[in-house]
Amino acid sequence: MTDPIRILMCAPDHYDVDYVINPWMEGNIHKSSRDRAVEQWQKLYEVIKGCAIVDLVAPAKGWPDMVFTANAGLVLGKNVVLSRFFHKERQGEEPYFKAWFAENGFTVYELPKDLPFEGAGDALFDREGRWLWAGYGFRSELDSHPYIAEWLDTEVVSLRLIDERFYHLDTCFCPLTGGYLLYYPPAFDAYSNRVIEMRIPPEKRIVVAEPDAVKFACNAVNIHQTIIMNQVSQDLKNRLQAVGFEVIETPLSEFLKAGGAAKCLTLRVTEPILETVHANVPIESRVVHMEGHLLDAGLLNQALDTIVENSGSFRVLNFNLGVERNSVSSAEVRVSAPSHDIMEGIMTQLIELGAVPPPQELCDINTEVVTQAGVAPDDFYVSTIYPTEVRVNCEWMRVENQRMDAAIVVGQTVTGPTATCKLLRDLQVGDRVMVGVEGIRTIKKVESHEAGRKENKEFAFMASGVSSERRVELLVEQVAWEIRKIRDQGGKIVVTAGPVVIHTGGAQHLSHLIREGYVHALLGGNAIAVHDMEQAVMGTSLGVDMQRGIPVRGGHRHHLKVINTIRRYGGIRPAVEAGFIRKGVMYECIKNQVPYCLAGSIRDDGPLPDTEMDLIQAQGRYAELIQGADMILMLSSMLHSIGVGNMTPAGVKMVCVDINPAVVTKLSDRGSVESIGVVTDVGLFLSLLVQQLNHLTQPYSQEQVLV
């Protein structure tokens, strides 16, 4: 014979909506009918009393929400974890509930005062006793879950709430007898929904639609095969009855005004202990250190948002604000995550923001040896565009050949240790590859406010994102100043261009830039060279007369005839030297000794002898030509621009010109965050750029400042 079920309730003698601590309370202050609330509570009491033994805790004046006993604590056997309320409006309830538990023979466990946990409102046992579902995100902290697991010796499964209307787990989640689950999936993040689906088979999951959810259908009391709730649609009622449950509806409208219903008004104090279930919680916590302009640059907010958006939780342990205008701030933040995989994902993103473990916790990195050429260990760290350092021999070492989407290989030479980014295909057996996220940091440039303002004045649009509505002329003027500065200071400008440059009449303008020393390397594909030389020789591009803008008879053959002739000469350089090519982009590259790389593709005609059809060789050559670049102009070539963006380290200015804003969006998605997109015709852009450069008759000097 099983022990009778006991449920704790509290009469609504002092109940009212006196304040706002959840969305349901807004607009309902003092609008709840005391008489109707007493009547509704009494009906619920009678219904539950017919199914279980009801114990009562005396209401205390001044604490109107004490009626919601679900938040008194969490009980298992004769142990209880007392609630630590998040809002001060409810914190005064704690001693009354503590006294009741003590008087009734429970061992009371109390969390640290600054660690919120709101009892059975945010912690619900699987009705088979297999584990404890525990919510976090609004009222309870993830860091409370390890305490609960230890004190109650139970497995805790953490779920993150993301809809403020469902601020407690029991408002959107109700475990039922027989392993069934009544829940509202949109109240949880994607990770939590995956966890739920892994634990509960499809035939046991009863999904609640929003109309039922907002009437708190999930805030139900389940006693054996009986479900007691506020109100339910006929459809949901039919589904529950179909799997063997009896549904009892009892109106609780007055309590909904405070954000509660049947479950909120009750606390089950006879939760059985299963001998086979023991403490197990996969929660992982780490402490990270951040330093820089954490507030004015928004780094701290970005870090905290990153933690929360990725199912984690945080606590700022220390924060030291820089006291001078140009001083940096520092912070130590404890990060918690519901699993190791989630923690690794969070840490990877925090590293990109400059976060590192405290120095005293860190000496050397974790590495694993490559056992198969071209294959990294499973948990290898994936590099980013940002300057990176790794911890070797208890000292930070800068990673060479920085680029995104590579592995970091740590080695030893006669001059000392080394760390280098290597593509997967370049890994060799015996290489020591960085794994995990410990012992690695990215370096963010810390600038003074004055330096930042000066830089912004000179190249302010670099943080502007995709710009189609702003005047193109203004952007061109700024680009012109910047490339003039780079050229006059001996810097390097790389151009990535597609055939649209030729089709839109931009060939003469790009040729001018090369001739005047504004281009120090050209990256593209087979097509830009083919159509550039087609125009130079035949006056057409894709068979269209570039002067009249109309197709010419037989023009579709022109580019193939040019390819054939270039192949006869043996390449572009011999064709230029022989006088066959006398103008154009490729002509200027040859004449001005500007290196170029044409990367082939499956769609190429010919191809030209100069086109590198080995993709790996082409990528390598691209990477060589990008090294040392101060700016990259990306001109209407999405494929090549994305490839270049992926292999370009942070700090290189990138200007992407395309008629399609999706090109810049794709660059941003791949981490090429230091790029500006100008949505316009590339031929027009180049024409305006040349005009503006012609207006700049004096070499750039440091004293010149844009107005």
Q: Which residues does the annotation mark as catalytic?
A: 168, 264
Residue type (1 letter), 644: V
Decide: residue 611, CB within 10 A, 0-12 exposed, 13-18 middle, 19+ buried: buried
One-letter amino acid at 393 equals: N
* Structure tokens that stand for 30 in this block: 């003092």
Q: Rounded to an integer, what distance in angstroms lies between the CA atom of residue 341 and that of residue 350?
A: 14
Give the C-alpha separation, 140 to 137, whole Å.
6
Any alpha helices (H) in 113-205, and if so which ranges?
145-152, 190-199
Helix (H) or strand (E) holding 287: strand 284-292
Q: Three-state DSSP class for 678?
A: strand
Q: Residues 539-545: contacts with CB within 8 Å, 24+ apart?
A: 541/499, 541/502, 541/503, 542/499, 542/503, 544/503
DSSP at 632: E
| DSSP state at residue 66 | G
Cβ atoms 335, 347 nearer than 8 A: yes
Residue written as tokens 């500007």?
Answer: 594
- The three-state secondary structure class of 121 is helix
Which of 637, 629, 636 has the alpha carbon at shortest distance from 653?
A: 629
Is-contact 367 432, C-beta < 8 A?
A: yes
Cis peptide before 609 (omega within 30 of 0): no
Torsion sign across C-alpha atoms 164, 165, 168, 174? negative
